[in-house]
Structure 1
């Protein structure tokens, strides 16, 4: 089950942000990593390939990335999410959710969205509240490790047909309207990427799994209880 079946969800993430410097050499090469120590003669750098020592005389310049507070500190965004895929049979496809995203502190990102859609025989209302701590932060993108809880209110109409039992019998067609609530525990990942470092627009992708349960268990075609996979896409416009 994905966010399209949520009326309330809280995502919690725990991790440490990673930062790195870029050292531009006079020969045109660029080395990325974390500066461990430096003096007037050299710079000791930790890279993905191990620790290295670079002479100051070979360095053209060093660029230091923006910290979390300067990258996204207290930034308010308008967001829209499209939830196009889930393995949950009871999910309503292509549900748009709109809301806001607000980074109140480097370790606390709050996202609140809501949506409603009537699609075929599905009627679903959603409100989603998200709290997240950045897993990786730089000027261009942020990654999150998400975990939380979800609630949804659903209406589903379906029919049953009883086969004719004797000649002349046309059978019996019965229509039903089921209203039920679902609850989910969620776990997943999210990445938000800016189209450019100085712009306002960013896109977000989420993937994860949910464990869903409900008091209703006898609705044909409904995957009420169990595990499912979800993925959705979002677009953000940062006001500041």
Structure 2
């Protein structure tokens, strides 16, 4: 399941984030690649331990914590500190699957990557190509979002970034360990939560049936969650 988180960052936040990361020194994107990814990847990346990456990551993490849609869709237990990449003309990232366990360099911080996230930070009209292409049960889905919008997708998915043919694609990327490991269970919880919120907006959250359905949601979450 692909879930778009619209307007995670507003225009002012995107501008502030870009000002921070654009002025920094970038390195070869394979600094964080596994063996498979290194064979397919051509881009630039901010060093994980750079001041710009820390400042930019803090902006992204604050926005995630303030997004009910992200919390509902991901049910996050851990979020890997956001990273940042840049694809110039000719760069791309061939088909790959993200590593199951992500370890922050120089620390013992690690997560199981249940979900992958790409937060777009460049106006889509400013570059050609650069689409995130994810293989799903319904075939390939191509994603290219306005700056400030993010897409969540299963980290187990085969995916690639199409070569950039004009301009520069800039994004933040990271992984989430969910409280609910099973992707089907997580999708059902998200669908149930979305329906409860929609019907509750019409009937009122105090409606007796909404209260009962909310109880069902939390009892299912209690059954499936790992914390």
Q: Given the two structures, how large is their TM-score scaled by the length of structure 2?
A: 0.21
Bigger proportion of residues as strand: 1
TM-score, normalised to structure 1's length? Answer: 0.20
